[in-house]
Amino acid sequence: MRYFDTHAHLGLITEDPIDQLIVVREARAEGVARIVTISNNLADFGQLYENLRTESEVYHSIGISPSSVVQPGEDWEARIAEGTHLERVVAVGEIGLDYYRKFGDRDSQVELFIRQLDLAGRLNLPVIIHNRDAGADVLEILRERLTSRGGILHCYSEDAGYAQRALELNLWISFAGNVTYRNARNLQDTAKAIPLERMLIESEAPFMVPASHRGKRNKPAYLVETAAYLAEVREKPVEELSEILYANSCTVFGLPQ
């Protein structure tokens, strides 16, 4: 049985290069065969890439999240474009909108989001999308700007109705450990309703730890708990579901199975 963690912040789990390798190998021992590690800003991307250069099954995204909208960095578009030429860089992200924490102002967030969507289109890469309390604006912008390679609504937090509207576009829905929480009925209903071929799974480590590990910092090895829960929700053997999700992930990122 194998799993694909489509979204982990390995650099936030630990800054120590050796510990990052340990986290990856612990996950591999649990069957997590591939991981996409996410950069929130360009300052962190380079060091994390170097730390994990030897890990052939760790892939990378590069982009600027809403949290860095005030200081995206000089020549950031050129730096993202340059970064995508590195081996195993498979997406632009995470990018999007966050109206909960009010990073900068909304207009600045929207501009940064749109410019990165357009850049991803020119680079022919999928996007990894952050949405917090900004669902209507995110969907409106994606209808106009989503790259032909599509994208992932990561750590999905909307309801099933929103998911159906999103799936009219070339988008996948990715579930994290919060789908296992007792009060996450909207996520559970969404997980039951969407087509399996548009579903993904992620750890969102070190955040969103599955319910069985509450009180701990999350890590990719715990992805198996979320997969088991989703298999129960979809009434499928976890072996079958994990293979479906793995294949979906390879499709999104353009990787061989």
Residue 43: what pLDDT?
Answer: 86
Q: What is the pLDDT of residues 120-147, one digit of tens each?
A: 999 999 999 999 999 999 999 999 999 9
Bond preceding residue 206 cis, omega within 30 of 0: yes
Take residue 45 and report the two structure tokens written for it: 């991307």
Bond preceding residue 232 cis, omega within 30 of 0: no
Sort 94 into a burial class: Cβ within 10 Å, 0-12 / 13-18 / 19+: buried
Q: How confident is the model at residue 40 (pLDDT cuts 50, 70, 90)?
A: confident
Q: How confident is the model at residue 101 (pLDDT cuts 50, 70, 90)?
A: confident
Residue 34: what pLDDT?
Answer: 98
Q: How confident is the model at residue 102 (pLDDT cuts 50, 70, 90)?
A: confident
Q: Contact at 8 Å (CB) between 134 and 99? A: yes
Buried b (16+ CB within 10 A) or exposed e, 104-135: bebeebbebbebbbebbbebebbbbbbbeebb
How many degrees, rounded to 5, is the angle at CA 74 between CA 40 and CA 126? 45
Q: Contact at 8 Å (CB) between 188 and 179? A: yes
Q: What is the pLDDT of residues 158-203, one digit of tens each?
A: 999 999 999 999 999 999 999 999 999 999 999 999 999 999 999 9
Q: What is the pLDDT of residues 110-119, one digit of tens each?
A: 999 999 999 9
Residue 151 has pLDDT above 90, yes or no: yes
Residue 39: what pLDDT?
Answer: 80
pTM of the model: 0.97
Q: How confident is the model at residue 19 (pLDDT cuts 50, 70, 90)?
A: very high
Average predicted confidence (pLDDT) for the chain: 96
3-253: CATH class: alpha beta
Q: What is the pLDDT of residues 47-95, one digit of tens each?
A: 999 999 999 999 999 999 999 999 999 999 999 999 999 999 999 999 9
Q: What is the pLDDT of residues 202-232, one digit of tens each?
A: 999 999 999 999 899 999 999 999 999 999 9
